[in-house]
Amino acid sequence: MTVRDDIKMCDLLQPYLQQHEQIHAAMAEVMTATAFINGPQVGAFARQLEDYLSVKRVVPCGNGTDALQIALMALDLEPGDGVIVPAFTYVASAEVIALLGLNPVLVDVDPDTFLLQPEAIEEAIHYYPGRCRAVIPVHLFGQSCPMEPILQLARQYDLYVIEDNAQALGARCQLADGKWYATGTMGAIGCTSFFPTKNLGCMGDGGAMMTQDQVLGDRLHRIANHGQRVKYRHDEVGCNSRLDTLQAAILSVKLKSLDAANQARQQAAARYDALLADCADVLQTPLRSTDSTHVFHQYTLTLWEGNRHGSDGVSQRDALKQYLQERGVPTMVYYPIPLHQQPAFKGCTCIGDLPVATQLTQQVIALPMHTALTQEQQMYIADQIRGFFGR
């Protein structure tokens, strides 16, 4: 087998093989105890994640999308209230807003970091005076949004901050007090996903909300459990969103190696940076914010001319994707369509024309990124990219 035969976009098998004994033991314990729903492992995992993040409360739930939905439900928003969300993100961030009868207010992002900018929040507030009640900074690809200015604006304009931390669990952001805070713990509520490919993934669906406010934590827990605190007494309309006991048991094992896994991703990213350093005229490797660490859920390149179409009508970005595919290098485009161009979000409030989000969907390409990526594989990948650009 040659190098090119074994390159994966994301490798879920290696981490499993490395920990399979602990994972099987943890699962066997659940299966013999048979408390498949709300077993003791669910609370145990929540407490472990609280310690890891230094947050008062973690409330597990069914998946990351549910986490965002329940977070919005817990904030007493009124139908039609505006919720600011970047146009360049996974659909879940905005979907839950619309689903609850709230109004997604789509804003543009920073071309270098792909993240929500504080200026965009101010623009949205001025465009839609008095109607924006919340903002969802998405810590896209593994790096924190600039939370200090975002939190300041939120205080100034009385906005709830719900962090979409599905891609950045384990990242840290520095605030004005000089301290580094775990992403997901700075806003009113943080939301995350344990989808298998996320930095902390389970073996099915899973998610969690986190908050420093115990009263809000109780409310989140209640909403995720049919709006009940006492069985068969329903204080408000909630939903059914639970983390399976089996998944919680698996996550407790995997949480122990989250930092090591994130370090492996950071090392792989540094190797890509070095290998592609001579391509700066044709592409940009991921920029690191100074106030955030980066846990590289994705390693995303921006091709300067990625949106330029060749004589065959294929864009440079799509041509590179095809070229790499033919040479055994899988890549992905996160995300190929900005939210404002999705039929589902037609007629949404947009702040300006969202040129950056639109352009990024045509220029970005994500390279293989996981904890088992070898230097040899990365050298091969970089060689193919250089080959495409004729160098």
Provide the minimum distance between the beta carbon of 89 and ligand PLP in the complex, in angstroms, as a whole number: 6
Question: In terms of CB distance, is 292 or 315 closer to ligand PLP?
Answer: 292
Q: Tell me the sheet residues that pair with 207.
A: 61, 193
Please, what is the minimum distance in Å from the beta carbon of residue 200 to ligand PLP? 11
- Let me know: does 301 contact 273? Beta carbons within 8 Å: no
The answer to whether residues 378 and 272 touch, using CB atoms and an 8 Å cutoff, is yes
Report the residue number whose CB is nearest to ligand PLP. Answer: 64
Least distance between ligand PLP and beta carbon 333 (Å): 14
Name the token pair of 19: 């920990």
User: CA distances (Å), 225 to each of 26, 66, 205, in order?
Assistant: 25, 12, 17
Of 184 and 207, nearer to ligand PLP (C-beta) is 207
| 3-state helix, strand and coil shares in percent for the chain, rounded to the nearest 5 | 40, 15, 40
Please report, as residue ranges, which positions from 213 to 252 form the binding site for ligand PLP (by CB under 6 A). Answer: none
Angle between helical axes of 375-388 and 316-326 (0-180°, round to 10): 130
Distance separating alpha carbons of residues 130 and 124, to the nearest angstrom: 10
Residues 55-74, mask of contacts with ligand PLP (x by CB under 6 A): --------xxx---------
164 binds ligand PLP per the rule CB under 6 A: yes
145 touches ligand PLP by CB under 6 A: no
Nearer to ligand PLP, 120 or 275 (CB): 120
Binds ligand PLP by CB under 6 A, chosen from 69, 144, 183, 193: 193
If binding is defined by CB under 6 A, does position 195 make contact with ligand PLP?
A: yes
Work out whether 295 is an interface residue with ligand PLP (CB under 6 A). Answer: no
Residue at 160: amino acid letter: Y
Shortest separation between residue 230's beta carbon and ligand PLP, angstroms:
29
Task: Say whether 271 sits in a helix, a strand or coil.
Answer: helix
Whole-Å CA distances, 201 to 35, 278, 340: 21, 34, 29
- Does the protein bind ligand PLP through residue 181 (CB under 6 A)? no
CB of 139 to ligand PLP, least distance (A): 8
Between 271 and 294, CB nearer to ligand PLP: 294
Check binding of 166 to ligand PLP (CB under 6 A): yes
Residue 144 sits in the site that holds ligand PLP (CB under 6 A): no
Name the residue nearer to ligand PLP (CB basis): 107 or 275. Answer: 107
* Residue of 86, 207, 238, 368 interacting with ligand PLP (CB under 6 A): 207
Structure tokens at 333: 């485009």
Q: Which of 186, 391, 199, 188 is nearest to 283 (CA)?
A: 391
Minimum distance from residue 15 beta carbon to ligand PLP (Å): 18
Nearer to ligand PLP, 74 or 279 (CB): 74
**Distance from C-alpha of 194 to C-alpha of 234, rounded to nearest angstrom:** 28
Instruction: Give dist(CA 263, CA 260) in Å, integer.
Output: 5
Instruction: Give the residue with the Cβ less far from ligand PLP, 90 or 345.
Output: 90
Q: Is 92 in the site for ligand PLP (CB under 6 A)?
A: yes
Strands of 299-303's sheet in order across: 283-284, 299-303, 364-367
Could you give the CA distance from residue 378 to residue 380 in angstroms, rounded to a whole number? 5
For the record, the structure tokens of 94 come out as: 């905005």
Return the number of the residue (96 or 356) whose C-beta is nearest ligand PLP: 96
> What is the C-alpha radius of gyration for the chain, rounded to an integer number of angstroms?
21
Does 86 bind ligand PLP (CB under 6 A)? Our answer is no
Q: How far is the CB of 334 from ligand PLP (least distance, A)?
A: 8
Does position 292 bind ligand PLP by CB under 6 A?
no
CA 273 – CA 251 distance, rounded (Å): 31
Q: Please identify which residue in the block is written with the tokens 């465009």.
A: 127
167 binds ligand PLP (CB under 6 A): yes
CB 361 within 8 A of CB 335: yes
Minimum CB separation from ligand PLP for residue 174, in Å? 22
CB nearer to ligand PLP: pick between 91 and 175: 91
Which amino acid appears at position 184 of this protein? G
* List of residues contacting ligand PLP (CB under 6 A): 63-65, 89-90, 92-93, 138, 164, 166-167, 193, 195, 205, 207
